[in-house]
Structure 1
Amino acid sequence: MPENTCSGLSGDEARQLLAQYGPNVVTEEKPQNWLLFLHKFWAPVPWMLECTLILEAILGKWPEAIIITLLLIFNGVLGFSQERKAQSALVLLKERLRIQARACRDGQWQSLSAADLVPGDLVHVRVGDIVPADLHLSDGSILVDQSALTGESMPVECAAGDTLYSASVVRRGEASGKVTATGARSYFGKTAELVRGAGAKSHLEELVLSIVRYLVIMDVVLVAAILIYAAAKHVSLAEILPFALILLVASVPVALPATFTLATAIASLHLVHRGVLVTRLAAVEEAAAMSDLCSDKTGTLTQNRLSLSQIKTWPGVEETQLLGMAAMASDSATQDPIDLAILRKSAARIATLPDRQQFVPFDPATKRSEGVFMRDEAAWRALKGAPQIIAKLCNHTGWEQATTDLAASGARVLAVAAGPDGQPRFLGLLALADPIRPDAAEVVQHLQALGVRVRMVTGDSLQTARNVAISLAITGSVCDRNVLAEDCAVYAGVFPADKFHLVQALQKKGRIVGMTGDGVNDAPALKQAEMGVAVESASDVAKAAASLVLTTPGLQGVLDAVITGRRVYQRMLTYTLNKIIKVFQVALFLSLGFLIFHSFVVTPLLVLVLLFANDFVTMSLAEDNVRPSPKPDRWAIDTLVFSALLVALAWLIYIFAVYGVGRFLGLPLASVQTMDFLGLVFSGLANVFLVRERGHLWGSVPGRLLLWASLMDILVVSGLALMGWLMAPLPIVIIAGLLLATVFYTLILDQIKVPLLRKLTSA
C-alpha cells in the first residue's frame, strides 16, 4: 500500500536553507511613484486642459489659468491615488494567489506556499500544476507544457532522471523530484504568480466612452455655431475662443477613468474580504450581467469530504480484497479526496499489501487509475474508476442495476477490478458519500431569485446527478454529455473538455455565462466564459484562466460577486446618466444662452469652477449606498440617452428660469451669472440624488460620503457667492431661495422620472 510517509527535509533544515537561499520568488521592479503621477498628465483629456491653460496664460486670464491648473492637479492626484488603491488590491490578490506546492517535510506530505521551497525539498507535481521550482525528477512520468519557457507549443515527456523547470505546466501524469534551484536562480527566473493585470478595459467603460464621443460631437457643432455667430457679430476671437474651449472641456469626462477605477477597486477589495479574489477588475461588472452559472458538483455544491458509505462485493470476493485492490490503485501523494477516503478505510482494516511497482494516476480522459504489483511472479494490475469503464475492460455485465441502486442516494460509485495484466476481474463497487454543503441550496435559490440560471455540471451518473439536483431544488431536465446543446438544468457524465463546448453552446443562445472549475482541463472553459470562476481547490492553471478565484468552499463567493457587481452597475449607471444629463444641460445653456441673449450666461471661469464642484460629488458615487438589480443587467443605449435627454431638457427649463428670474429682479449681468452658476451647481447636486434611485429619490438612503460631499459642495459655492470670491456677490436670501426652489423643482421632476427610468432597471 502507498506510504503516507516520505523522505524529505526536516523543518529545521528547511528553515536554515530558506535563510541561506531566500524565498522562492523574484521581487518585481516597481516603477517610481513620481513617474506614475506624471503619466496622469499625458493623455487626451489632460492635453485638452493643458492647451486651454496655455491659451489662457497667453491671453493673460490668470484666474482661469489658475483654476485649470488646480483642476489638472486635482484629477491627477485623484487618478493616481485610485490607481494605487487598485494596485494595492492586486498586491493583496497576489499574496493570496501564490502557488501552492506539495512537499515532503518532517516525513509527511504537506501543502505549503511555493515561496517557502528550498533546494533539496522533495516535491510532488500532478496534472494541472505549475511547477514551482526547478526539479530533478526521481520517479514518475509526466507530460509538461514548457511554452512559457521556450515558446514551443508541443508538450514534452519527462521521466525519472530528467530536469523539470519552474513555470512549466503539467498536462498529464504525476512525478516527484528534488528541488535544484529556486527564485532568481531557477531557469525561468521567477515563480509564476497567476494574477492578470487589472487594466483590461471593461464593456461598461467602452460604452460610456462611446456615449461621450457623441457628446463631444454635439459640442463641436455648438462651438462651430458660436464661432460663426461671433464672426458675424465681430466678437473678438480672444474673447470667444476661451469660451469655446471651456465649452468643449465641460463635456470631457475628466473624472471618468478615476471613477471607474475607484468603483471597481473598492468592489474588488470588498470581495477579497468575502473570500473572492478578482484577477481582473472588469470581472466585477461582468458578474452583474451573468445570466447562467454552470457549477461543478463536487466540492462546490457538495462538501468534497468523501467517505466510503457502502461496499458492494461480487460473489467470491471479500471486502478486504476489494478494499486492498482499491488502495493499490490509490496514492496519498495525489491528495485526491477519493484516494484519501479509500486509503483511510483500507488502513483501518488491512495490515499489509503487496509492494507496488508502478502507479498510473487518474486521468479524466480514461476515467480510471491503476496500480501495478507482483503476485505469483506475474504482473497484476489493480484498476479503480467509473463503473462503465472498468466493466468494459473486464468484459463484465450485470453491474448496471447495482450501480443504480448505490447511486440512488446521491453517492458517487466506483468500480474496482484486479488481475494479471490484460485479464482483470470485476471485484465490486464502492459508494462514496459526499454530503451537500449546508449553504448550497440557499445560495442556489438566491442566485436563481436574482435571475441567474444555475446549471449543475458533473461527471457523475444521471441518477446521482438527479438526486443531488432534487436536494438543491435545481429544476429542469437532466441530460448527458451527448446533448450539451440542449437547455438542461443538469449535465451528467461530463468530461472536463465538454465544459468548453457547453459554454459556447450557451453563448450562441445569447447567454452571459459563468463557469466554475478546478482542473487544468477546465481552463479553456473558464477562459471562454464571460466569468470564469476557479473554486477553492483549483489548480494553478485554472486560477490563471479564471476571472474570479474563490478562497472559500461553495458558491457563496459567486453570489457575493453578483450582488457586488450589480451594485457597481447601479453606481456607474447613475454616473453615466448624470454625466449625459449635465453635459446636455450645461452645453445647451451656455451655447443657446450666448446665441439668444448675446452675452455669456456663465463666465468661462465659473464653468471651470463648476467642473470642480461636479467632479467632487460624482466621485463619491463610487461608494454610494445602492440596491443591487433584481435581474442580470443590460445596457439599453437608446433608452439611456433618450431618458437622459428628456431629464436634461427639464433641467434646461429650470436653468433658463433662473436666468429669467435674475433678469426680472433687475440684477446686473455679473450677479445673474453668479445665480446661473449656483443654479447649475444646485441642479447638478439635485440631479445626482434624482437619478441614483430608479424609484422615488427617497427610496434608499444615500451613502455617507455622497451626503457629506454634497453638503460641503453647497457650503463652499454658497460661501464663494456670498463673499463675492471669483464671482459677483449675492445676498443670502437669493442663495437660500434658489436652493429651496431647486429642492421643490426636484421633487416635481421625481414624479416624472420614475416611469421614465423604469425601463432601465426593474429595481
Structure 2
Amino acid sequence: MTVKEQATVSQVGADTALPDETAHRLGADMNKGLTTAEAQHRLTQYGYNEVAEHKPHVLRLFAKKFWGISAWMLELMTFLSWYLGKYSDMFVIAALLVVNAVLGFWEERQAQTAVDELKQQLQIQAKVLRDGAWGTVPARELVPGDILRLRTGDFVPADTQLFDGELNVDQSALTGESSDVTKAVGQSVSSGSTVRRGEASGIVAATGPHTYFGRTVELVQIAHPNLQIEEIIARVVKGLFTIVLILSLAGIAAAVYRRIPFAEVLPLILVVLLSAVPVALPVMMTVSTALGARSLSREGVLVTRLTSSESASMVDVFCVDKTGTITQNRLSVVAFAPADGFEEATLLKYGLMASQPADKDPIDMAFINASSARGIDMAGAGILHFIPFSPETRRTEAMVRDGEKEYRVIKGAVSTVVEMCGPDCAPADWIRTANDNFAAQGYKTLALAVAETSGPPRLAGLVALADRPRPDSARMIAEARALGIGWKMLTGDALPTAVSIAASVGIGGNVILAKDVRELLHENLEKAGRLIEKCDGIAEVFPEDKYLIVRSLQSIGHVVAMTGDGVNDAPALRQADVGIAVSTATDVAKGAASVVLTKEGLTGIVSLVKISRMVHRRIDIWVINKISRTLLKAAFVIGTFLVTGNFFVSAFAMLLLVFMTDFVKISLATDNVRWNPVPDRLEVAPLVKIGAVMGVLMVVESAGLLYGIIRYWNVPANAAVMVTVSFDLLFFLAICSLFVVREQGRLWESKPSRQLASAIGADILLVTALSLHGLPGLPGISFSLLATIVGYCILVSLGNDWVKVVLFQRDSSGPHGVK
C-alpha cells in the first residue's frame, strides 16, 4: 500500500470501508495476524511508527549565527583591526562576535522540545496478534495490517479500524470534544486517543506520520512563528548601518578630495563602525526578557521561550481553544425541565442512582458532582442491580430498593427514554420544546424516568449537561479586551455549543463553521484572514484548521497568541507569535508553546501582556538612545576629521566608550516603565526619527563645546589631550541623553530604578577617575576642564528635554513614561 493509500484509510470520522475490505486492502489476517517476517518487511517498507524529525546539522545551525548584518559588521571590524595591527581591538571584537553567536545558537536549540515530546508519546507497548499468537511489541514497531488489541486505559498508538468489540474513547486531546465517543465495529479509532472503557480488536490502518496524530506532529515541525525581537534587532542594525555608511562615505570622499592615502583613512572607518555596533543589544534584550519572565513566574506564568516575554506586547488577537481553556473540560448539570409532579432535586437523585462512580464516566460524574454540591444522596436507598450504558440501548438502568419499595431508574438519550415511556409519556410538544431549547444553547440533553417493578416507565424530566466556562474566563477576557486585544474562539464542538460558550464569556456570538472557510484557508490565506478577522469564533475545526487560521491572521498583519491544551492545539501553538499552554495541557502542547500557565484557566494572561509591554517600552528607550548616540559619535568623528584633519577619537577610546555606555544600559531592563494601554507595534521608524533629531542636536552641541575649548581654553586641535576631551564629551552627552529619553514627560517627573541609577553612578565615577588620572592613549585632564564638560552637557540636556517632549507629543508611538 502506498503512502497515499495509508492517508486515505486514516481519516478522522471517515469510516468508509468495512473491516473485511480494509483487511483485504492491507493483506491482513484477522484470525492469525501478520507473520513476523511480513511485519519486518512492512517495517522496512513503511518505516517506524513515529515521526521522523527534519533537523539541519548542528554545525550548520551554529554557522548561521555568523551570517547577517550585525555579524558582518563585527567580522569586518575584526578584519580591519587585524589589517591595521590593532590586535587587542581585534581579540575583543572577535570575542563579542563569538559570544553573540553562542547565545543565539543556544536559544534556537530550545525551540525543538515540542517534537521531542510528541515522539515520546509514541514510545509505548502494544498488544499485537502475530504468527497466530498474541504478544507485546514496542508501539514504534507497529505496521499497517497488524491486528491490535485495545483495552480500558490504553493509549491508542496507531489509527485502527475495529472489527470486534466496542470502546468508549476520549478524543478531547485530538478534537477538543469534552464528551467520550463510542466506537463500534467498522469505525476507526485515532492515534492519540485514550480508551476509557471496553475492549476491542482492530486492524492498524496507518502508522507514524500518516496517522491523524502523526500529521499533527508534522504540523508542529513545519510551524514557524514570526520572531518579533529578531525583526526589531534586524531593523535597528540596518538603521545604524545606514547612518555609519553615509557618514563613512562622506569621510572617504573628503579624504580622496584631499588626496589622503586610503591606508590613513582605514582607522577612521574602524572607529565609525565601532560606534554603530549594538554590542549590548542582544544582552540587554535577553536580560530584559529574562527579568520579565521571572516576574511572570510569580504570577503563575512560565515562559519557556524568552522572546515571548517581549513578543506578547504586540499581540492584538488571542485565538483561544474552548475545551479545557475557556471551559473546565468536564460536564456539569446546568439546567432542568422537570415533568409534572417532579422537582429538580428528584431528577438529581434519580440521576445519581443511575450513575456508577467506579466507571468515572463523564456523564455519571456530572450527576454525582451536582448531587454532592446540593447535599443530595441516596437517602438510604440501595442499588440492587446496575446496567451500564451501551450504544445499543443508549441508556443506563438501576434497580433500586428504597425501604420497602423497589423501582427502576432510567437515564439515557431523550428519544430512547421517551419511547420506553410509551404513549402515556409527557406531552410531545413540551418534550420537543424543552429539548430544542437546550439544544439551541449547545447543551447535551438526557431524559430520566422511573418505573415500578412492572409497567412502563414514567418520564421524570429532562436534564441539560454542558462543559461550563471556568469562573475566571469572562473576567480575564474582559480585561484583555480593555488592553486592545481581540478574541477568536476555535473549537471542534458544534455551532450551537460554540455560540453559547463564546457569548457567555464575552467573546461574542458571531461564530462561523470551519467548513465555510476551510477551502479559502488553503487557497488564499489573506482573504481567509479578512473573513476570520470579522468573526468571534469558528466551530467544528480540525488541527490543520487552527494552524492555518493562525497563519491567515498573521498574513494580514496581526500578531497572534494561541491558547490551548491538547495535542490538536500543538501546531497552532508553535506557529503563533505567542503560544500559551494552560495548566491542564498535555506535555505535547506545553512543548509546542512558548508560555505555560501554571494556574488553572486563563489566569496570568493579562499579567503576561502588561509585563511584556513594559519590556517593549524599555527596548524602545534603548533604541532611541542608541540611535542618537550612534549619530553623535559617527558624525563627531567624521566631522572633526573633515574640519581639522585630525582623529579626535582613537579606536581604543571608541571601544572603551561603547563598552561603558552600552553595557551600563543593560540596567534599563530594570527601569520602572508603565505599559502601553494598546498593543505595541513593530515600528522602528518613529523611534529612528526621535533618535535622529536628538542625535543632530547633540552633534551641534558637541561642536559648540569643542570650538569653545579650542578657542578659549587654548587647547590645540592636534593636542593629545583632545582625545580625552572628546571621550568625556561623548560619554556625558550619552549619559544625559539617557535621562532625557527614558521619560516621555520632563526628565525630573520620575526617578530611575535603583539598579539603573547605581549603574550610571558607578560609570560616572569610573570615567571621572580615568579622565583625571589618564590611561595609555587617554591622557589625563584637569578637574576644571572636566567640570566644564559635565556642566555643559547637563545644561544643553535641559534644552534637549524640551525638544523631546514636543517630539513625543507629536508621535504617539513614543515610549510611555515611567511611574
Query: Which of residues 603, 606, 610 is equivalent to 1:563?
Result: 610
The aligned counterpart of 1:446 is 479
Structure 1 residues 355 and 205: alpha-carbon distance in aligned structure 2, compared to 1, 3 A threshold: same
Amino acid at match of 2:674: R
Asked whether 1:66 is paired with 2:113, we answer: no
Q: Which SS does the other structure have where 1:312 is aligned?
A: strand
The aligned counterpart of 1:757 is 808
Out of 558-567 and 45-54, give the one that drifted further: 45-54
Structure 1 residues 608 and 536: alpha-carbon distance in aligned structure 2, compared to 1, 3 A threshold: same
Q: Which SS does the other structure have where 2:318 is aligned?
A: strand
The aligned counterpart of 1:737 is 788
Structure 1 residues 650 and 138: alpha-carbon distance in aligned structure 2, compared to 1, 3 A threshold: farther
The aligned counterpart of 2:291 is 266
Amino acid at match of 1:675: V
d(CA) in 1 for partners of 2:701, 2:197:
75
Matching of residues 576-725 of structure 1 within 5 Å:
576-664=623-711, 665-668=713-716, 669-725=719-775
Query: Which of residues 347, 351, 369 is equivalent to 1:323?
Result: 351
Q: Which SS does the other structure have where 2:446 is aligned?
A: strand
The answer (yes or no) to whether the contact 1:451–1:631 under 8 Å persists in 2 is yes
Deviations along 1:336-382, one digit per CA (max 9) or x if unpaired, are: 5x55223456895462554548579xxxxxxxx9679999xxxx995
Asked whether 1:727 is paired with 2:769, we answer: no
1:271 is displaced (CA, Å) by: 2.4
Asked whether 1:230 is paired with 2:255, we answer: yes
Amino acid at match of 2:153: H
d(CA) in 2 for partners of 1:702, 1:309:
53
Q: Which SS does the other structure have where 1:124 is aligned?
A: coil
1:232 is displaced (CA, Å) by: 3.8
Deviations along 1:86-142, one digit per CA (max 9) or x if unpaired, are: 9899999x99xx989999xxxxxxxxxxxxxxxxxx98356xx999xxxxx998487
d(CA) in 1 for partners of 2:663, 2:605:
33
The aligned counterpart of 2:540 is 495
Query: Which of residues 205, 225, 233 is equivalent to 2:230?
Result: 205
Structure 1 residues 463 and 645: alpha-carbon distance in aligned structure 2, compared to 1, 3 A threshold: same
The answer (yes or no) to whether the contact 1:411–1:432 under 8 Å persists in 2 is no
Structure 1 residues 686 and 580: alpha-carbon distance in aligned structure 2, compared to 1, 3 A threshold: same
The answer (yes or no) to whether the contact 1:143–1:158 under 8 Å persists in 2 is no
Deviations along 1:369-416, one digit per CA (max 9) or x if unpaired, are: 9679999xxxx995489x9xxxxxx998644643687799x9955334
Matching of residues 536-555 of structure 1 within 5 Å:
536-555=583-602
Matching of residues 163-562 of structure 1 within 5 Å:
169-170=191-192, 202-295=227-320, 300=325, 307-308=332-333, 311-313=336-338, 319=347, 323=351, 327=355, 332=359, 336=362, 339-344=364-369, 348-349=377-378, 351=383, 354-356=386-388, 382-383=412-413, 398-399=430-431, 401-402=433-434, 414-416=445-447, 428-432=461-465, 439-440=472-473, 442-454=475-487, 474=506, 478-481=509-512, 485=531, 494-497=539-542, 511-523=558-570, 526=573, 529-562=576-609
Amino acid at match of 2:801: D
Deviations along 1:459-507, one digit per CA (max 9) or x if unpaired, are: 598799779957x6x4x8633445995888965x943548678767866
d(CA) in 2 for partners of 1:745, 1:273:
42
Structure 1 residues 573 and 44: alpha-carbon distance in aligned structure 2, compared to 1, 3 A threshold: closer
Deviations along 1:242-288, one digit per CA (max 9) or x if unpaired, are: 22122123222223333333332332343233222334333333321
Deviations along 1:171-209, one digit per CA (max 9) or x if unpaired, are: 5865789xxxxxxxx9xxxxx9x9999997722322331
d(CA) in 2 for partners of 1:400, 1:512:
46
1:712 is displaced (CA, Å) by: 1.8
1:631 is displaced (CA, Å) by: 0.9
The aligned counterpart of 2:145 is none
Q: Which SS does the other structure have where 1:628 is aligned?
A: coil
Aligned length: 659
d(CA) in 1 for partners of 2:751, 2:364:
53
Structure 1 residues 762 and 644: alpha-carbon distance in aligned structure 2, compared to 1, 3 A threshold: closer
Q: Which SS does the other structure have where 2:383 is aligned?
A: coil
d(CA) in 1 for partners of 2:659, 2:414:
69
Amino acid at match of 2:762: M
d(CA) in 1 for partners of 2:65, 2:555:
40
Q: Which SS does the other structure have where 1:429 is aligned?
A: strand
Structure 1 residues 657 and 68: alpha-carbon distance in aligned structure 2, compared to 1, 3 A threshold: farther
d(CA) in 1 for partners of 2:736, 2:742:
10
TM-score of the two chains, using structure 2 as the length reference: 0.64
d(CA) in 1 for partners of 2:444, 2:250:
78
1:756 is displaced (CA, Å) by: 0.9
Structure 1 residues 300 and 217: alpha-carbon distance in aligned structure 2, compared to 1, 3 A threshold: closer
The aligned counterpart of 2:153 is 124
Structure 1 residues 54 and 340: alpha-carbon distance in aligned structure 2, compared to 1, 3 A threshold: same
1:733 is displaced (CA, Å) by: 2.0
Q: Which SS does the other structure have where 2:786 is aligned?
A: helix
Amino acid at match of 2:813: L
1:169 is displaced (CA, Å) by: 5.0
Q: Which SS does the other structure have where 2:604 is aligned?
A: helix
1:231 is displaced (CA, Å) by: 3.7
Amino acid at match of 1:706: L
Amino acid at match of 1:583: T
d(CA) in 1 for partners of 2:550, 2:99:
42
Q: Which SS does the other structure have where 2:302 is aligned?
A: strand
| Greater C-alpha radius of gyration | 2
Structure 2 unaligned residues grouped into runs of 5+: 1-59, 126-150, 159-163, 175-181, 200-207, 209-216, 400-409, 418-424, 451-456, 518-530
d(CA) in 1 for partners of 2:67, 2:323:
50
d(CA) in 2 for partners of 1:716, 1:505:
53
Alpha-carbon RMSD: 5.9
Structure 1 residues 572 and 59: alpha-carbon distance in aligned structure 2, compared to 1, 3 A threshold: closer
The aligned counterpart of 2:52 is none
Deviations along 1:603-653, one digit per CA (max 9) or x if unpaired, are: 222111111112212222233322111111113343232222111111111
TM-score of the two chains, using structure 1 as the length reference: 0.68
1:723 is displaced (CA, Å) by: 0.6
The answer (yes or no) to whether the contact 1:516–1:534 under 8 Å persists in 2 is yes
d(CA) in 2 for partners of 1:102, 1:412:
36
Out of 450-459 and 695-704, give the one that drifted further: 450-459
d(CA) in 2 for partners of 1:407, 1:143:
22
Structure 1 residues 486 and 100: alpha-carbon distance in aligned structure 2, compared to 1, 3 A threshold: closer
The aligned counterpart of 2:11 is none
